[in-house]
Amino acid sequence: MPSHCRTSLNGRRTNLRALTGQRSYDHRPSGRLAYDEAVAVPKVLLFYAFAPLPDPEAVRLWQRELCERLNLRGRILLSPHGINGTLGGELGSLKRYVRVTKEYAAFRELDVKWSGGSGLNPDNSSVDFPRLTVKVRDEIVSFGAPDELRVDDRGVVGGGSRLDPRALHALAAERDDLVFFDGRNRFEAEIGRFKDAVVPDVANTREFVEALDSGVYDHLKDRPVVTYCTGGIRCEVLSSLMLSRGFQAVYQLDGGIVRYGEAFGDDGLWEGSLYVFDGRGSMTFSDHAAVLGRCEGCGSPTSRMRNCTDLSCREQLVVCEDCGQRSCASHAA
Ligand SMILES: [Zn+2]
Ligand SMILES: [Zn+2]
């Protein structure tokens, strides 16, 4: 794992070192300027809020203008149910983005997670995202069930009980029949997942409804189930879909794997690397993360993920440095 793929904790540590180094040898008055330049820190934000938006298009125009002004890149989705985004850029600009966005009443409870970025271009734009897109869709997470989701000013109606990382450990200690249910795409779990998790065979989020309705998970309906995903947003919807389909005790990991990793790193129930949908590819929470992935080409252990060689294909494959890039089953020559 390259060091730049570590979490915010490591990013902060690196930053502190740069900061003290600068101070130790630069005593001129102009040193203040050099110090400011030294702390242009690349960061990546993950955020969402479920809240009724009467006019998503107006919010889109405002958000687009705000991001352009602050030189932020990434992807923001808006719907009548809220906002879902990931943005990369300079720390100060991202802080300003969060402050301004939270001033809008519907986004006051915006859930925000920080992690370290790979770097900044000379104009301070993020190297982790090629561009900025801000779109209005039917759903901010694509389950293909916009009519089933109900949202009020307190968020999703009828979702699973929230567990913070500590509460998750308490529940796991109390219930040995607890089931971890991965709320992500199958390929994401290949390089990291919770211990003994059930990983549904879904290529994308749209396939969850069909998987649940097929009955293959009916045997879990009487057991306590904890859903988890990257930052928690997919579980807000998934847990509500499970409860409405007769699952008796559904919990959701609040803040997702990202917040769990900040609390327990690789010394708890999480194993491996976290797949992320930006230029970083994946991230780890410590220097002793397990390597769960096996290269599609040669079978050697790796956490490296690459797109299928077919440019139209969105399949991600575990493939080592030596094997370079591979084709998925449907695009193999
Ligand atoms: Zn290989
Ligand atoms: Zn393919």
- What pLDDT sits at residue 62? 98
Give 240: exposed, middle or buried? Use CB within 10 Å, 0-12, 13-18, 19+: buried
- What pLDDT sits at residue 19? 34
- Of all ligands present, the nearest one to the C-alpha of 319 is 1
- What pLDDT sits at residue 22? 35
- What pLDDT sits at residue 315? 86
Question: What is the 328 CA–ligand 1 centroid distance (Å)?
Answer: 14
CA dist 81 to 78, 150, 169, 233, Å? 8, 8, 31, 12
Give the whole-angstrom CA distance, residue 66 versus residue 60.
10
Q: Hey, what are 147's tokens?
A: 């009519």
Give the whole-angstrom CA distance, residue 161 versus residue 248.
11
Question: What is the 204 CA–ligand 1 centroid distance (Å)?
Answer: 25
CA dist 206 to 9, 80, 220, Å? 34, 19, 21
Name the stretches of the chain with pLDDT < 70: 1-38
- What pLDDT sits at residue 278? 85
Using only the alpha carbons of the chain, give its radius of gyration: 21
- What pLDDT sits at residue 21? 33
Is 229 a residue of the active site?
yes
- What pLDDT sits at residue 29? 43
**Residues lining ligand 2 (ion), CB within 5 A?**
308, 310, 313, 315, 328, 331
- Of all ligands present, the nearest one to the C-alpha of 314 is 2
- What pLDDT sits at residue 38? 57
Give the whole-angstrom CA distance, residue 128 versus residue 86.
11
- Of all ligands present, the nearest one to the C-alpha of 325 is 1
